[in-house]
A and B are shown apart, each in its own frame.
Chain A
Amino acid sequence: MNYVWHLLVLAILYALLGSSLNLLCGYTGLVSLCHAAFYGLGAYCSAILMTKAGLGFFPAALVCVVLTGLASLAVAVPTLRLRGDYFILATLGFQIIVFSTLQNWVSLTNGPYGITGIPIPSIMGFSFDSPLLYLLLTVIVCAPCAAATRMLVQSQFGRALRCVREDEIAAASLGKDVPRLKICAFVIAAALAAVCGVMFAGYSRYIDPTSFSVAESIFILSVVIIGGAGNLAGPVVGAAFMVLFPEVIGFIGLPDAVAANLRQVIYGVALVWLMRFRPQGIVGDYGFD
């Protein structure tokens, strides 16, 4: 049964990661390939604050989200002037810089060996030390984030983002401050990714840079694209598909190494197939046109 809770925790984290990236790709039309960088910044920041500075889980989480938000602001302000392929290339560049830093700044991040012994999150002496309890914590943390995302995209702000996606010049002519809208979307998406990072670090209690590589950014983008971009249900469906479907393969009994590759082959094929026949994904609204 614990395994089911484990899968649910992962599915919820990827659903939130996907939803946050969806704010950018689906609603604003900005395809970003550095989401794993913000996810990683969140995870590493909380791990370092908890193991080295001895902060509690919730204070560390708060500091992390603020720091990652600031970092994303520093990235967003210059790069959002770029358009199309240049923006994608700049985000990829940033992803590689962050990965390389996590890998090589050994005195702070312990390099390729990663950070071990991240304490179990606890609140006033109550420790979330079983998978079921952690699932509870994940729901408690992620539900407000999901609700906030929902409110955001249904508000005037969300409509303005969609307007930017369809036609930037029209949006500007209606008096919308296009750069500010894009920057807000980018920072909010990064802060939400940091929340997922904190939750991931507290859950696995060991993190290393390989969890936050370019491949992970592609994976998160696939969650959005396969589920469907541009509405709230898409990333949730995508996360369910990407996390739960590979488990079916697990039951066939392939060796672990092959199974991991096979999963990625399946989602790569799904990407190609969907782009050819159904670019809006399983339940999405926006087909990247």
Chain B
Amino acid sequence: MQLLLQLVFDGLVLGCVYSVAAVGFAIIYNTSRIFHVGFGTSYLVAAYTCFWLLAHWQVPLFLSVIAAIGVAAATGVLFELLIYRPLRLRGASLLVMLISSLGVYVVSVNLVSMFFGAETKILLAESAKAFRCGPLLIASTQMPQLFVAMLLLVVIAFATRNSRAGRALRAARDNPVLLEATGTDLDRLYLVLFALGSALAGLAAVLTSLDSGIDPNIGMPALLTAAAALILGGIGTFVGPVLGGILIGLLQGLALWQLSSRWTDAVTFCVLILFLLVRPQGVLGVVRRVEEVAD
């Protein structure tokens, strides 16, 4: 029983961090409809920026984290300016945009492993201390993960709920042309979205790497987990990806109960495929017409 409680708690903390990434991915995907593989690049770049500042320049942790998030946001802006905007102007399909960002992702993974090496790096040299809280054993890295993630999610929920920006986000998904006709600068909106979504990728990367090592291939699993959380929770709402992220975290925690940790990826994606087949609109999502989902 105590083991189960511990696994549920660990899963919940993990799920909160996944939620941050999932909301970041959702901000981009819900509005631009681009399956932004570059999300993995932002994640990767943030983790390595933080590592580089900490290990080589002995910059304090707090400043490194801020810088890492800033760099992640910058990668998002660059993606929009250099890759997606020219393609959008040419009228390219979303598939073309996906393949382009896949190309950039491949480049970024290999540049990182050229400069930093392919082996696993540890962000924080000293091992995490743990303390008891009732029946639970809480690692010192889990507290910032839990609190930062919670705080951020609450802030975003309020910021997008009834504000002008929140309405613009939803409008941009449903009918970008009409939104532009009402005087909203769509190009600027996309820039803000990519900056915000990628900054969240950066935050998730930093939070995750507080207690797990980083290697050049962390971007893809992070992207896929975020996308899976979005689909599990449901596309088109804000609560969807948060719920999806927490569900995946809990699921991975519970999978540890019966299976070894090596099977978590397989379990996650089995559930994802199951969901895609049985309930493609997710737990909370709205049923959409096939044509709307497809393109």
A interface residue numbers (CB < 8 A to B): 31, 78-79, 81-86, 88-90, 92-94, 96-97, 100-101, 103-104, 214-215, 218, 221-222, 225, 257-258, 261-262, 264-265, 267-272, 275-276, 279, 287-289
The answer to whether B263 touches A100 (Cβ under 8 A) is: yes
The answer to whether A96 touches B295 (Cβ under 8 A) is: no
Can you give 14 A-B contacts (C-beta < 8 A)?
A: A82-B276, A83-B290, A89-B35, A89-B227, A89-B231, A89-B276, A93-B269, A265-B107, A275-B99, A276-B86, A276-B87, A279-B92, A279-B96, A289-B96
The answer to whether A265 touches B103 (Cβ under 8 A) is: no
B138 within 8 A of A: no
A265-B111 contact in complex given A97-B266, A271-B103, C-beta closer than 8 Å:
yes
Shortest distance from the beta carbon of B264 to any chain A beta carbon, whole Å:
9
Closest B residue to A225 by beta carbon equals B99
B293 within 8 A of A: yes
The answer to whether A287 touches B96 (Cβ under 8 A) is: yes
The proximity string for B residues 114-147 relative to A, scoring 1 for CB distances below 8 Å and 0 otherwise, is 1000100000000000000000000000000000
The answer to whether B293 touches A261 (Cβ under 8 A) is: no
The answer to whether A96 touches B100 (Cβ under 8 A) is: no
The answer to whether A88 touches B100 (Cβ under 8 A) is: no
With A89-B228, A272-B107 already in contact, 18 other A-B pairs whose C-beta atoms are closer than 8 Å = A82-B276, A84-B294, A86-B276, A89-B272, A96-B221, A96-B265, A97-B270, A215-B106, A218-B102, A262-B110, A262-B114, A265-B110, A265-B114, A271-B106, A272-B83, A276-B87, A288-B99, A289-B92
Of the residues B86, B102, B263, B295, contact of A271 by C-beta under 8 Å: B102
The answer to whether A275 touches B103 (Cβ under 8 A) is: yes
The answer to whether A267 touches B269 (Cβ under 8 A) is: no
- For chain A, what secondary structure do more than half of its interface residues adopt (helix, strand, loop), or is it mixed? helix
Shortest distance from the beta carbon of B111 to any chain A beta carbon, whole Å:
6
The answer to whether A288 touches B272 (Cβ under 8 A) is: no
Residues on A with beta carbons closer than 8 Å to the beta carbon of B224: 89, 92-93, 96
Closest A residue to B221 by beta carbon equals A96
A275-B92 contact in complex given A81-B277, A86-B280, A92-B224, C-beta closer than 8 Å:
yes
- Give the residue among B93, B103, B273, B276 with the most A Cβ atoms within 10 A: B103
State in angstroms the CA–CA spacing of A241 and B49 once bound together.
34
State in angstroms the CA–CA spacing of A215 and B110 once bound together.
11
A-B contact count (CB 8 A): 138
State in angstroms the CA–CA spacing of A124 and B105 once bound together.
48
A269-B294 contact in complex given A88-B35, A96-B266, C-beta closer than 8 Å:
no
State in angstroms the CA–CA spacing of A166 and B86 once bound together.
24
B95 within 8 A of A: yes
Q: How large is the interface on B (under 10, 10 to 19, 20 to 34, 35 or more residues)?
A: 35 or more
State in angstroms the CA–CA spacing of A267 and B105 once bound together.
11
The answer to whether B100 touches A100 (Cβ under 8 A) is: no
B222 within 8 A of A: no
The answer to whether B263 touches A104 (Cβ under 8 A) is: yes
State in angstroms the CA–CA spacing of A82 and B275 once bound together.
11
A83-B293 contact in complex given A93-B224, A100-B265, A279-B96, C-beta closer than 8 Å:
yes
The proximity string for B residues 210-224 relative to A, scoring 1 for CB distances below 8 Å and 0 otherwise, is 000000010011001
B interface residue numbers (CB < 8 A to A): 35, 83, 86-87, 92-100, 102-107, 109-111, 113-114, 118, 217, 220-221, 224, 227-228, 231, 260, 262-263, 265-266, 269-270, 272-273, 276-277, 280, 290, 293-295
State in angstroms the CA–CA spacing of A215 and B108 once bound together.
13
The answer to whether B262 touches A104 (Cβ under 8 A) is: yes
The answer to whether B96 touches A97 (Cβ under 8 A) is: no
List of 7 A-B pairs having minimum Cβ-Cβ separation, nearest first: A271-B103, A268-B106, A268-B107, A93-B269, A272-B103, A100-B266, A261-B110
Closest A residue to B270 by beta carbon equals A97
The answer to whether B277 touches A276 (Cβ under 8 A) is: no
A214-B220 contact in complex given A83-B294, A276-B86, A289-B92, C-beta closer than 8 Å:
yes
- Give the residue among A214, A265, A272, A287 with the most B Cβ atoms within 10 A: A272
State in angstroms the CA–CA spacing of A58 and B219 once bound together.
40
State in angstroms the CA–CA spacing of A289 and B295 once bound together.
11
Shortest distance from the beta carbon of A8 to any chain B beta carbon, whole Å:
25
Of the residues B98, B104, B273, contact of A94 by C-beta under 8 Å: B273
A103-B262 contact in complex given A225-B99, A275-B103, C-beta closer than 8 Å:
yes
State in angstroms the CA–CA spacing of A244 and B87 once bound together.
30
Shortest distance from the beta carbon of A167 to any chain B beta carbon, whole Å:
12
State in angstroms the CA–CA spacing of A81 and B290 once bound together.
11
State in angstroms the CA–CA spacing of A142 and B221 once bound together.
34
Residues on B with beta carbons closer than 8 Å to the beta carbon of A215: 106, 217
Of the residues B104, B113, B293, contact of A268 by C-beta under 8 Å: B104
Closest A residue to B217 by beta carbon equals A215
Shortest distance from the beta carbon of B134 to any chain A beta carbon, whole Å:
34
Shortest distance from the beta carbon of A79 to any chain B beta carbon, whole Å:
7
The answer to whether A79 touches B95 (Cβ under 8 A) is: no
Of the residues B105, B106, B217, B228, contact of A93 by C-beta under 8 Å: B228
State in angstroms the CA–CA spacing of A222 and B105 once bound together.
13
State in angstroms the CA–CA spacing of A97 and B221 once bound together.
12
Shortest distance from the beta carbon of B178 to any chain A beta carbon, whole Å:
22
Shortest distance from the beta carbon of A14 to any chain B beta carbon, whole Å:
16
The answer to whether A267 touches B231 (Cβ under 8 A) is: no
Residues on B with beta carbons closer than 8 Å to the beta carbon of A214: 220
State in angstroms the CA–CA spacing of A95 and B44 once bound together.
21
